[in-house]
Structure 1
């Protein structure tokens, strides 16, 4: 976890102390996905937290750097789409979305990528233009497995999915 993220998380949830950074470990039965974790001491209690959850507490893009995988509010809409930071300007972030689109956004319209197995998303089923709700069943880079609410399943790319 970067120092800026740690400082922002401490500001939000109180004083936290990462006391052990875990190696990526399997997450989700048979998913093949890897999830880094952190052992945290907070208020004399010890917690094991996924690093993605911790990073998701930091909503400011100020901690982002070129090359970071992020979520951006495409065209100021209600949904967050995954992409990579291409450049950072004064108060702006240029994101190349996973579907190939590019957009320059205000920093408040960009947040750290926080998708994980079990999270609700909407995906463009088979790329046919219809968006359906489901849960992430597997993640491996830009490859994503979706278990749709209607019972369908699909292996697709993150560029065809969005979150609220």
Structure 2
């Protein structure tokens, strides 16, 4: 098993976007993110049952996220992107579709949520240029993986083209 996600970079990005109230919440947002990563990273390509278990877990985590209030928009979009990524990754390795779609619909939703996270984070105080670059890199990778590895036909190029050419960082950051 290889770690598909980089929790440290993601945690740093989420921490930068967190409001003071969220920072005092005992780290529940970061715990949720860690659980998403744990479920996704547990998927073994040669063991379909791990994919089905991860799909179930990530579906439940998506419901938990939907019930949360007070999250910054960029953080929420990023978490939603990771949940969609987990669902797509599970469907790809488990070779199944679910009530909520198939690997391609979830993978495109993953890319769309990454785009929304980038747009929400631009000009937001506390977000560094390297963090926005990491998000753009994630969107670029998703735009390659969808068609090349998963066989998806979504218009990923349109997502990238809809972003400003450069990321603006809030003054003083």
Sort the TM-score into its range (normalised by shorter chain): under 0.3
Indicate the structure whose relative CO is greater, using CA pairs within 8 Å and at least 6 residues apart.
2
User: TM-score, structure 2 length as denominator?
Assistant: 0.26
Q: Scaled by the length of structure 1, what TM-score is found? A: 0.27
More helix by share: 2
More strand by share: 1
The structure number with the bigger radius of gyration is 1
